[in-house]
Chain A
Amino acid sequence: MRKNFVLSFLVVCILLTLFASTVLAEEEIELRFLGMAQAAYSEQNVNDMTADFMKDHPNIKVSTEFVPYEELRNKTMLAYGSSNSYDAALVDDIWFAEYAAKDMLLDITADIPQEYKDGVLAGAWNVTTKNGKILGVPWFLDTMYLFYNKDMLSKAGFEDTPKSIEEMVEMAKVLKEKGIVEYPFVFSMAQAEALICVYANFLEAYGQSFQDAEGNYILQDSGVETLEFLVSLMDEGLLNPNSLEFLEEDVRRVFSSGDAAFTLNWAYMYALAKDPAESSLAPEAVGIMTLPGKEGIKEHAAMSGSMGLGVLSKSAHPKEALEYILYLSSKGVQDTYSNLQLPVWTASYDDPQIAAGREDMVAAAKQAFSIMNVRPSEPNYQEASAILQKNIQSALYGDVSAKDALTSAIDEINQIK
């Protein structure tokens, strides 16, 4: 009798174990995340964050994939169009409108915890909100900061930073005349979105905009002076001619090698330009500030290059995908990995630990976030941008005048609108 009882007990235990393991196995959820393999948080950072998330959520397995920025939108859309969509993806601020128009992102307005709504920088929600719906969680706010080489400026007799575009150009001329640097400026102006970012920041510095209040592109009038300014830098030998081949990483290397006095780049460059393993500059020689404006127009300028995390509407596990992106953008995680990218949480900026050793960068970020403008956010922006890139480059090569280049670009853009 007792033997039978023990046997029955064992059988029940085995069955229970089998049942439990089956149930658990069924509950294991796989998520796919697509991120960016350049700038902002590094791949290692994101993988570490993801590993921590999986430790806290043993039933969720997240596979991460990273592609260069230039491929991120196409890959997200191609996967979405196929039967194998990602569950969550990194979305640039210029893509939210297009994704929204195509219903690619889940409306998470009602699912955002109140602490996020209250705690994240108010301006950051503008990036991820379209037509009153929150389509993503802000992950980082960024702009192209003006990086300058303090040692070079000091050698040329400048102790202060430039107060205007004109003053910056004068400084560059002196640096060149004194033979301190052959090309004082280097920018990322390859035929890519990076070119538009550089142009957009100077456009902002000139107090101009891409579109009028009705959303019509007006660069053939508003943008000519800015483009003429960039062409003049090229003509006067102040701008490294290789800029037309450079993306952000190329620019970082040139600046970090001490071959440029001024450049524009995203926040991630700050830590790397000071890192002896990545840069030949003395850490104290790396200066950062918001781009000064044109004299008499504005003091400073900043154009957003921010990004958010979204849940794709075809995700089979939207609840878990949302949980994952909320974790990635949580204050604790953002503070921990703030080496390359500043957090989107207001309170983080009052944390002395976050600002320690990079007070100038935090100050520049605070200023930039308060004045930051955005590039056009509309469904066909990507195509309009490609047209602008080609025509702006034509002007920089001297093939056509700035006015003709922008007039031709706007004509083409009007045809696709």
Chain B
Amino acid sequence: MSYKQIKGSYSFLTIPMILIMGMVIGWPLIQTFIFSFTDADLLGITKPGFTGLNNFLDAFQNRGFLNSLKVSGIFAVVVVSVEVILGTSVALLLNQPLIGSKVVRVFLILPWAVPTIVNAIMWRLIYNPEYGALNSLLYQLGFIDKYISWLSSADKALWAIIFADIWKNFSLVTLIVLASLQSLPESQVEAAKIDGANSWQRFFYITMPHIIPSLQVAMVLRIIEAVKVFDIIYVMTKGGPANKTRTGSIFIYQEAFTNSRIGAGSSFAIIMVAFIILLILVYMRTLSQQKR
């Protein structure tokens, strides 16, 4: 029996998985899409009316939504950029035969393994304006002369959350890049050295092309996560102060569940998904071109 025949005869085993995925992911997605063309309310008290493209047109005139997309954009660009640079740098360092690098690799997983909610609560305590560790550290080092309210400061709150998110997630990029680096044939690097390539040349012409596919995967994962960020912000600031940290996901949550406008909320969600897909396509295309 050929491989194809075996594969075909056992493919029915995937049916339960497809059914479950269809129920828990597919149906809610379809329902969200349907809702986005209606004026449905959360409790379903009144029969939803078809509104055509009105929800979508309104979305692009809604200052709150546009502002939340801007916050999401800033958050995603900064977080993903820093995580990629920092994560790759740390991976390159850990790929060297340094003493203790294996122990560091183990510890590196810890922040990523911590649940986001725990991470958010932990950073809220660290940033606490009355007894937070960060204020204490900076004060004792003489960098500040009085405790700062990081999360209630309109110009610092978003950056404080960005820092907390980077701390948690850059290690994912490190681990993916490190795994890729370890599959880089030593012979290629040795050959380059013999040919007289310096360390920058070896990095740009041998190491970088090798890790780009892995970086693509890491970046796509992180872009999706960063653009739809909800939990860490909801726990740390709930979108405040004065909506300065209200991202698209939090805006959608408030529209759908606090204001009970599930129809409008669904249309905002569809726009967010389109935005994420567009971003991923741009990144993938750019990186593919660089690889060539």
Q: Which residues of A contact B (CB under 8 A)?
A: 70, 73-74, 77-78, 80-81, 102-104, 190-192, 241-246, 250, 253-254, 257, 259, 382-383, 386, 389-391, 393-394, 397, 399
Q: How far is the CB of A57 from chain B (nearest CB, A)?
A: 30
| Chain B stretch 42-86: residues in CB contact (< 8 A) with chain A | 42-45
Asked if A191 and B241 sit within 8 Å, CB to CB, the answer is yes
- Taking a contact as CB atoms closer than 8 A, the residue among A80, A242, A382, A394 that contacts B43 in the complex is A80
Complex Cα distance, B42 from A190, in Å, reads: 27
Q: How far is the CB of B58 from chain A (nearest CB, A)?
A: 11
Q: A242-B129, A383-B259 are in contact. Are A77 and B43 (CB under 8 A)?
A: yes
Cβ contact within 8 Å between A81 and B42: yes
Which of the listed residues B238, B241, B258 has the most CB atoms from chain A within 10 Å of its own CB? Answer: B241
Contacts of A103 in B (CB 8 A): 45
Which residues in chain B, 155-202, are within 8 Å of chain A measured between CB atoms? none
Number of interface residues of B (CB under 8 A): 22
Q: Is B154 engaged at the interface, CB distance under 8 Å to the other chain? A: yes
Chain B 217-252, CB-CB to A under 8 Å as 1, else 0, gives 000000000000000000001111111000000000
Distance A382 CA – B152 CA, assembled complex (angstroms)? 22
Q: Which residues on the B side are within 8 Å of A102 (C-beta)?
A: 43, 45
Knowing A80-B43, A103-B45 are in contact, say whether A241-B240 is a contact too (CB < 8 A). Answer: no
- Contacts A244-B149, A259-B130 given; does A191 touch B243 at CB 8 Å: yes
* Contact A245:B258 (CB < 8 A) given known A192-B238, A397-B242: no
Chain A residues whose CB sits within 8 angstroms of the CB of B258 once the complex forms? 73-74, 382-383, 386
> Is B203 an interface residue, CB under 8 A from the partner?
no
Separation in Å of the B126 CB from the closest CB of chain A?
A: 14
Please determine whether B238 and A242 come into contact, CB atoms closer than 8 angstroms.
no
- Give complex CA distance A154, B43 in Å: 55
Tell me, yes or no, whether B260 is within 8 Å of chain A by CB: yes
CB of B254 within 8 A of CB of A386, answer yes
Q: Would you give the 0/1 interface string for B122-146, flagging 1 where the beta carbon is closer than 8 Å to chain A?
A: 0000000110000000000000000
B91 within 8 A of A: no
A242 and B241 contact, CB distance less than 8 A: no
- B275 contacts the other chain (CB 8 A): no
A78 cross-chain contacts in B, Cβ below 8 A: 42, 257
Question: In the complex, which residues of chain A have a beta carbon less than 8 angstroms from the beta carbon of B254?
Answer: 386
Cα separation A265 to B260 with both chains bound (whole Å):
30
Residues in A with CB closer than 8 Å to B238 are 70, 190-192
Q: Which residues from chain A contact B154 at a C-beta distance below 8 Å?
A: 397, 399
A253 and B130: CB pair below 8 A?
yes
A245, A393, A397 — which one has the most chain B CB atoms within 10 A of its CB? Answer: A245
On chain B, the residues within 8 Å of A257 by CB distance are: 130
Q: List 27 A-B contacts (CB under 8 A).
A: A70-B238, A74-B258, A77-B42, A77-B257, A78-B42, A78-B257, A81-B43, A102-B45, A104-B43, A190-B240, A191-B237, A191-B241, A191-B242, A191-B243, A241-B149, A242-B130, A243-B152, A244-B149, A244-B152, A245-B129, A259-B130, A382-B258, A389-B240, A390-B240, A393-B241, A394-B242, A397-B242
Q: How far is the CA of A391 from the CA of B241 in the complex (A)?
A: 10
- Among A73, A74, A242, point to the contact of B149 (Cβ < 8 A): A242
Using a Cβ cutoff of 8 Å, how many contacts connect chains A and B? 72
Is residue B94 contacting chain A, with contact meaning CB distance below 8 A? no
> For A383, what are the chain B residues with a Cβ–Cβ distance below 8 Å?
258-259
B262's nearest neighbour on chain A, judged by CB, is A81
B152 contacts A399, C-beta separation under 8 Å:
no
- Give Cα A80 to B238, complex, Å: 23
Smallest beta-carbon distance A80→chain B, Å: 6
Specify the chain A residue showing the minimal Cβ separation from B46.
Answer: A102
B257 touches A242 (CB 8 A): no
- Report the separation of the CA atoms of residues A104 and B260 in the bound assembly, to the nearest whole angstrom: 14
Q: How far is the CB of B290 from chain A (nearest CB, A)?
A: 41
B269 located at the interface, meaning its Cβ lies under 8 Å from any Cβ of chain A in the complex: no
Q: Let me know if A245 and B243 touch, CB within 8 A.
A: no
Task: Establish whether residues A399 and B43, one from each chain, have CB atoms under 8 Å apart when the complex forms.
Answer: no
> With an 8 A cutoff between CB atoms, is B215 at the interface?
no
A73 to B238, CA, bound (A): 16
Most chain B beta carbons < 10 A, residue from A192, A383, A391? A383
Q: In the complex, which of the residues B130, B243, B259 has the most CB atoms of chain A within 10 Å of its own CB atom?
A: B130
Distance from A329 Cβ to chain B, minimum over Cβ atoms (Å)? 26
Q: A73's closest neighbor in chain B, by CB?
A: B258
Nearest CB on B from A91, distance (A): 15
Contact B130 A254, beta carbon cutoff 8 Å: yes
Task: Considering the complex, give the chain B residue whose CB is closest to the CB of A254.
Answer: B130
Pick from A80, A190, A259: contact of B152, CB below 8 A.
Answer: A190
Contacting pair B260 A245 (CB below 8 A):
no
Q: Is B151 an interface residue (CB 8 A)?
A: yes
Least distance between B135 CB and chain A CB atoms (Å): 10
For window 16-59 of B, CB contacts with A under 8 Å fall at 42-45
Minimum Cβ distance to chain A for residue B256 (Å) = 10
Is the pair A382, B259 in contact by a Cβ cutoff of 8 Å? Answer: yes
Chain B residues near A259: list those with CB within 8 A.
Answer: 130
User: Would you give the shortest CB distance from A340 to chain B, in whole angstroms?
Assistant: 24
Q: Are A244 and B241 in contact (CB under 8 A)?
A: yes
Smallest CB-CB A-B distances: 4 pairs: A191-B240, A245-B152, A244-B152, A393-B242
B151 touches A245 (CB 8 A): yes
In the complex, which residue of chain A has the Cβ closest to the Cβ of B44?
Answer: A81
CB distance from A92 to the nearest CB of B (A): 14
A190 near B43: Cβ-Cβ < 8 Å = no
Per the bound structure, the CA–CA distance linking A241 and B238 in Å amounts to 19
Starting from the known contacts A73-B258, A191-B243, A389-B240, 8 additional A-B residue pairs (CB-CB under 8 Å) come to A74-B258, A77-B43, A77-B260, A102-B43, A191-B241, A242-B149, A245-B149, A253-B130
**Bound Cα distance from A191 to B151, whole angstroms:** 11
Q: How far in angstroms is the closest Cβ of chain B from A389?
A: 8
Q: Hey, which chain A residues are within 8 Å of B259, CB to CB?
A: 382-383
User: CA of A38 to CA of B129 in the docked complex: distance in angstroms?
Assistant: 21
B57 CB to nearest chain A CB (Å): 16
